[in-house]
């Protein structure tokens, strides 16, 4: 009988295949998914380092904006229920992000002004996006003929943005249109220009009094002309 010539590499390959077959057979008998075994065979070279993974989840500024875009598409298709769900999710995302960035700003204030300023800007940006999502959600509720759901949202916007801001004015106009309020905002009058005061009139110039010429010292006096005696009257003849 000829002797089999099996080297160590072939033996290792046969052993691994046999072991793999027995392990798959065991997993199938006990009911465990076989895909878990395939997932473990992923080599480290194919894995992506965590440091290079970008935040691409819904819990981010980009994720909140994507929800608002999806809500706009739903409104265009008159799918108001779906639009309300998307806007409510976007509103919650932006609200949480704004609170977290505000907490980071407070933590870094006085320690690192550059980092604190960056978090302050993001807190402001996400707060504005939250109020915008809230306003669009209020409009969707109006389209659903549910003004009772729009009113608290509109009041929240006015409280957050102030009545004099652009979004605050739009929210108050919606309350007027609903009929919840009946006092329109008075237009802000332009600043009054103070009357122009004319310059004071210049008094007429009074000529200086005639001053006799000053005689320099050492000048001989001007001779006085001789006085002519009055003419003598001839005697009257008797």
Q: Is residue 105 part of a domain?
A: yes
- Does pLDDT of 2 surpass 90? no
Q: Between residues 180 and 21, which one has the greater pLDDT?
A: 180
**Would you state the structure tokens that stand for residue 59, as one six-digit string?**
């819990």
Q: Is residue 98 part of a domain?
A: yes
100 closest CA partner among 131, 127, 68: 127
Give the rounded distance of the alpha carbon of 1 from its chain centre. Answer: 88
**Would you state the structure tokens that stand for residue 61, as one six-digit string?**
């500024």
What pLDDT does 21 receive?
52
Q: pLDDT grade, residue 218 (50/70/90)?
A: low
- Does pLDDT of 4 surpass 50? no
Domain count, the chain: 1
What pLDDT does 40 receive?
47
Q: Tally Cβ neighbours within 10 Å of residue 76.
A: 9
Q: Rounded to whole angstroms, how far apart are CA atoms 131 and 148?
A: 18
What pLDDT does 155 receive?
97
Coil, helix or strand for 25? helix
Give the helix ranges, DSSP H, for 77-206: 80-108, 113-143, 147-161, 166-178
**Would you state the structure tokens that stand for residue 98, as one six-digit string?**
């704004």
What pLDDT does 48 receive?
46
Q: Rounded to whole angstroms, how far apart are CA atoms 119 and 100?
A: 9
CA atoms within 13 A on the CB side of 227: 2
Sequence-distant (6+) residues with CB within 8 A of 87 are: 67, 68, 71, 133, 136, 137, 140
Give yes or no for a contact between 173 and 157, defined as CB atoms under 8 angstroms apart: no
pTM score over 0.85 = no
What's the average model confidence in pLDDT over 226-233? 55
- Does pLDDT of 206 surpass 90? no
The enclosing domain of 102 has a CATH number of 1.25.40
Any idea of the CA torsion for 185, 165, 147, 126, to the nearest 10 degrees?
Answer: -170
With vertex at residue 215, the alpha carbon angle to CA 211 and CA 216, rounded to the nearest 5 degrees, is 135
Q: pLDDT grade, residue 226 (50/70/90)?
A: low
Instruction: Kindly state the DSSP code that residue 31 receives in the 8-state scheme.
Output: T
Q: Is residue 5 part of a domain?
A: no
Q: Rounded to whole angstroms, how far apart are CA atoms 168 and 148?
A: 19
Q: Is residue 67 part of a domain?
A: yes
**Mean per-residue pLDDT of the chain:** 75
What pLDDT does 58 receive?
75
What pLDDT does 124 receive?
95
What's the average model confidence in pLDDT over 93-114? 95
- Does pLDDT of 158 surpass 60? yes
What's the average model confidence in pLDDT over 43-68? 66
**Would you state the structure tokens that stand for residue 104, as one six-digit string?**
């980071």
Q: Find tokens 């549910």 and name the residue.
A: 146
Give yes or no for a contact between 154 and 174, defined as CB atoms under 8 angstroms apart: yes
Q: Is residue 230 part of a domain?
A: no
Q: Is residue 156 part of a domain?
A: no
Q: Is residue 203 part of a domain?
A: no
What's the average model confidence in pLDDT over 109-119? 94
Q: Is residue 27 part of a domain?
A: no
- Does pLDDT of 67 surpass 90? yes
Q: pLDDT grade, residue 85 (50/70/90)?
A: very high
Which residues span the domain enclosing 94? 61-145
- Does pLDDT of 231 surpass 90? no
């Amino acid at each position: 009988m000829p002797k089999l010539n099996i080297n160590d590499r072939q033996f290792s390959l046969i052993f691994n295949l046999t072991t793999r077959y027995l392990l798959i057979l065991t997993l199938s008998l006990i009911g465990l998914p076989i895909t878990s075994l395939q997932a473990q065979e992923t080599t480290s070279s194919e894995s992506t380092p965590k440091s290079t993974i970008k935040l691409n989840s819904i819990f981010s500024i980009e994720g909140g904006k994507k929800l608002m875009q999806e809500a706009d598409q739903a409104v265009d298709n008159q799918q108001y229920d779906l639009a309300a769900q998307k806007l409510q999710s976007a509103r919650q995302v932006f609200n949480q992000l704004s609170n977290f960035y505000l907490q980071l700003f407070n933590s870094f204030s006085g320690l690192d002004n550059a980092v604190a300023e960056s978090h302050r800007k993001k807190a402001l940006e996400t707060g504005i996006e939250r109020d915008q999502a809230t306003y669009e959600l209020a409009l969707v509720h109006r389209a659903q003929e549910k003004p009772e759901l729009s009113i608290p949202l509109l009041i929240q916007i006015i409280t957050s943005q102030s009545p004099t801001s652009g979004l605050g004015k739009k929210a108050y106009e919606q309350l007027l249109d609903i009929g919840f309020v009946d006092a329109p905002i008075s237009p802000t009058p332009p600043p009054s220009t103070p009357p122009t005061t004319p310059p004071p009139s210049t008094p007429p110039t009074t000529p200086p009094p005639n001053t006799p010429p000053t005689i320099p010292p050492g000048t001989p006096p001007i001779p006085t002309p001789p006085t002519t005696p009055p003419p003598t009257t001839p005697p009257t003849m008797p």
